[in-house]
Amino acid sequence: MSAPETQRPHRRDTATGVSAPGPVRDARAPIDAAPVAGDGDDPDRAFAASAQSAAAIAAPTAGLTRVPRWPYAWAVWIPLSQFAVLGLWLAWDWRVGLAALLASHASILVPVFLPRARVYAPVLARLPTAAREVWLTIDDGPSDDTCAMLDLLDRHAAKATFFLVGARAQARPDLVREIVRRGHGIGNHSHTHPQAWFWALGPRRMRAEIEMAQTVLTGLAGRAPRWFRSVVGMTNPFVAAPLRTHGLTRVAWSARGFDAVRADPQGLVAAVERDLAPGAIVLLHEGARHGRNVAMIAALLARLDALGYRSVLPDADAPDVSADERAGPPGEGTAAPAAEARAAR
């Protein structure tokens, strides 16, 4: 069963390292008319085709990669800073030493809670583009909201990266595969989402959180995530080492609407729009207790369309999945879209 659409395969902008969908599909098409496997098609074969295409994607462009190069640099500068404090304390009076001690401890602790701080690990907070393009990132899934969000994204010809929690992905593997099948990206958002204590995790627990999620998501999605988002944006000294091991880039954001705690669609849109600019990385959530995440994303997508912004994916997230690959194996209703996709290339 074919869908009424005119969408073309992804095309990559070599100057910015991002990939965007082609022209918007017919607005008259219903939400459930997004490309799906034919009624008689085998969904496993459809997913395998998509995963095979995704596996051929190159790593992120050099301009976007933020894999830590010196994950243990903190083990040098933190002790040196304390020796400097001791020197000031001995060379001057205790008032100077105490002020230096407090300042040094603030420089160690405060960056842990700043999502865009680069003290303990490099971070990507904006896409390098002057075009009216944004990167939508959706945290905390998969959840009961995932399918409805995928339908909304399809209707607006938009793409997003879902930063998934490993344990939740294990419990709902079909949703992870559906995200990939529809051409969206997958990111690592820890294995258990320890919101209250992520900032204070030691090296062993931090590595386990990142590595377990990476293993689960790689197995389910058919490709290893390239992106990592810290829980609540917090990054302590022990995050960088596992990121380097797995070639992960830490991703922050430049626009957000606090949709994990507020349930006001128009408030979300207004908050995001204040910080909206070319290359913005927008932080969104799914599965919040208030139950309004789908309505809020619907309002935001409509506003982005009105403002002329496109939702794009970085290269590493953007599978070049053609219409025939997304619809599953060749069969009734797939020949015409396949020919159209080839002609578009």
Q: What's the CA gap between 190 and 213, in Å, rounded?
A: 6
Give the containing element (helix H, strand E) for 20.
strand 18-20
CB 146 within 8 A of CB 120: no
Residue 227: strand pairing partners: 249
The DSSP secondary structure of 70-121, one letter per residue, reads: -TTTHHHHHHHHHHHHHHHHHHS-HHHHHHHHHHHHHHHHGGGG-TT--SSS
CB 98 within 8 A of CB 90: no
Could you confirm whether 285 is annotated as catalytic? yes
Could you tell me whether strands 249-250 and 255-256 are parallel, antiparallel, or unpaired per DSSP bridges? unpaired
Three-state DSSP class for residue 150: helix
Q: Residue 317 to residues 88, 277, 321: CA-CA distances in angstroms?
A: 50, 21, 12
**One of 10, 41, 139, 193 is an active-site residue; which one?**
139
Give the containing element (helix H, strand E) for 186.
strand 185-188
Three-state DSSP class for residue 146: helix
Three-state DSSP class for residue 11: strand
* Polymer length in residues for the chain: 345
Q: How many CA atoms lie within 13 A of 342 on its CB side?
A: 7
**One of 140, 259, 285, 317 is an active-site residue; which one?**
285
Residue 251: strand pairing partners: 124
**Residues labelled catalytic:** 139, 285
